[in-house]
Structures are given as structure tokens and as C-alpha cells.
Amino acid sequence: MILKKQNKINLAYLITAYHDYDHLKRLISALQDENVFFYIHIDKNALMPVNLNEFKNIRFIKRHKVWWGGWSHQKAILNLMLEAVKEKYDYYALLSGSDYPIKNNEYLYKILIEGGEFISIKEGFPSEMKRGWVTNFYFDLFYRRKPNKPIWIKILLRIEKKISLYFPKKKFPFTKVFFGPTWWVLSHSTIEYILDFLNSNPQYERFFKNSFCCEEILIPTIIGNSDINNLKGNLTYVDWSVHPGPAFISKKHVEMFKNDDIKNESGDNVAFFARKFKNDDIELLQFIDNELRA
């Protein structure tokens, strides 16, 4: 375990990534500190990065294939949690490889020292469409956003619809459903609670294995049905105003980042991270480093 120094929070960054490893390196460099450690899952559909050897505080966990919207991404997140929780950090921050901090690291530490759980959740289904994410059946075998789908994917999509029509999931293994953004920063006790809960209630994993975008439902629902409180809202800004989202961060966003409270899909929150970025946005990233993170 990393020893706490200079009253800083011991922090584990949990990162899921599959491409743009130059940006991933920049992200890790920006967050580097003596009190942090990085746990990274690289999609088995992708090549491993070869540009991160200089970092000594990185651990790559066992890989599996990840399909957008499928249980496989939630499983990667849970595996990151299982690996990192062994070291008993104060906090665990879930990020994608396309994220980037928009304020200096001390800003984050000050927020975390005050305590709380940095996740946004709301009770109920946001829409009837999202209810279907839970009640319908979804395969976790292919990339759903592929524009020109081969015949075998089209066949599986038809099978999904038939299963959902005739065998909808009706009996939920939870009292109430809660939704929230995928990305969060949670304390050690909450991470332990989630993992212990799933270990003691295997029906949760069975239920969600054939759901869609379960990262926005599983952990929010576990927390929402627990006694965990002091929820302060997530710390990651994401712009879902475009379709398909999310939008890449641009100059118009950066002007907004100068404020402490930033309006996003979860309301007005303090934002420390933003997504999505591309590494070829060099000028934008340099502006953030020089003007917002200095």
C-alpha cells in the first residue's frame, strides 16, 4: 500500500482503455504523484501499449474482450476494483483512457479530504427506452455501433428481439432501480461494500449479464438500495448533446471549465475530469495544462 504523504489522499486510478495510447500516456503523466497508483485494463480486441514502460506505478490487469454497451465493460470495471481494493487506498477513481483532468491535482485532493462519495444517481428509469436496457435481452459478442453490420450480427440482433419479446426479464433482483453516469470516485469502504454485495448476491451479476449499458445501472442501484449516503455528485464532465455521443471536448467546453460548478447531464457538479479527448488536440490540451491546471 502507498503510504500517505503530505496529508494527501492515497488514490487508485482505475482506467479502461483500448486506443489512442499517446493520450493515455498524457493522462497518466498529468495525474502522476507519489500518492497515486494506476490500474489499467486494455481491451483484448486491441494491441497492448508499448509507450508506458517509464511509469513504475502502473499495473495492467488480466485482459478480456470488451464490447461497447455490453457486460464485458462492467466486468472490466469490477476486475479493476477487485485488483485495486487489495491495497486499501482511500479513494478509487474510475476513468476511461479518453479522459483528462481540467484542474490541478491538489484541487482533487482537497475535495477528497472532505470525504463523501462522488457519484451521481437518480431513482427510476430516465426513459422507457432505458427501461428496456434492463428488461430486454442483449448479447455481449459484437460492436453494436458498426455501421455496415455483417449478416451474422444482423441475425443475432433479430434473435435478441425475439428473446426480449417472448422472455422479458420481469423479476428484478433489487427493490428500486437507480441510474447514473459510468464514471465515479468512491471511497474504500464503498468499493468493499459493492464487491462484498456482489459476492453475496450472485443473482445481480446473472441478471445484468445480458443487459445493455449496465455500467449506468448496476453500481448506482447497489448504492441506491444501501445505507451509503453523503453522495456529492460525480466529478467527470461529459457532453451528451450530440448523437452518437459523447462529444469530443472543444474550445467552447474549455471556457466553461473555468467555473467551479459545471452543468452536465447530472446537474451542476464540481468537475475535475472531462471526456472525451483526442491526443491530436495538442493546442487544447496545452491550454488546459497552462491555464486551468497551472
What percent of the chain shows pLDDT beyond 70? 95
- Which pLDDT belongs to residue 109? 97
Judge whether residue 5 has pLDDT over 70: no
Summarize pLDDT for 177-191 with one digit per residue, the tens: 999 999 999 999 999
Judge whether residue 3 has pLDDT over 60.
no
d(CA 11, CA 27): 15
pTM: 0.92
Please state the rounded mean pLDDT for residues 220-226: 97
According to DSSP, the β-strands at 267-270 and 261-264 are antiparallel
C-alpha grid cell for residue 227? Answer: 445505507
CB contact burial 121-144 (16+ within 10 A = b; e otherwise): beeebeeeebeebbebbbbbeeeb
Domains annotated on the chain, with CATH: 11-126+173-292 (3.90.550)
C-alpha cell at 124: 427510476
Residue 1 has pLDDT above 50, yes or no: no
Res. 226: pLDDT tops 90: yes
Three cell numbers at 134?
A: 434492463
Query: Which of 11-15, 131-135, 247-251 is the least confident region?
Result: 131-135
Q: Look at residues 123, 129, 132, 118 and name the one whose alpha carbon lies nearest to residue 210.
A: 132
User: How far is CA 285 from each of CA 81, 113, 251, rounded to the nearest angstrom?
Assistant: 29, 27, 10
Contact indicator for 269, 259 with CB cutoff of 8 Å: no
6, pLDDT greater than 70: no
Question: Can you tell me the mean pLDDT for 64-83?
Answer: 97
Distance of alpha carbon 242 from alpha carbon 209, whole angstroms: 28
Q: Lowest mean pLDDT: which of 48-57, 219-228, 276-285?
A: 276-285
CA atoms within 13 A on the CB side of 7: 5
Q: Is residue 111 over pLDDT 80?
A: yes
Q: CB of 1 within 8 A of CB of 87?
A: yes
**What integer pLDDT is reported at residue 265 of this predicted model?**
63
Q: What is the pLDDT of residue 146?
A: 82
Q: In this predicted structure, what is the pLDDT of residue 268?
A: 56
7 forms bridges with which residues in the sheet? none
- The sheet carrying 185-187 orders its strands as 58-60, 36-42, 11-17, 91-96, 185-187
Q: Is the pLDDT of residue 224 over 70?
A: yes
Mean per-residue pLDDT over the chain, rounded: 92
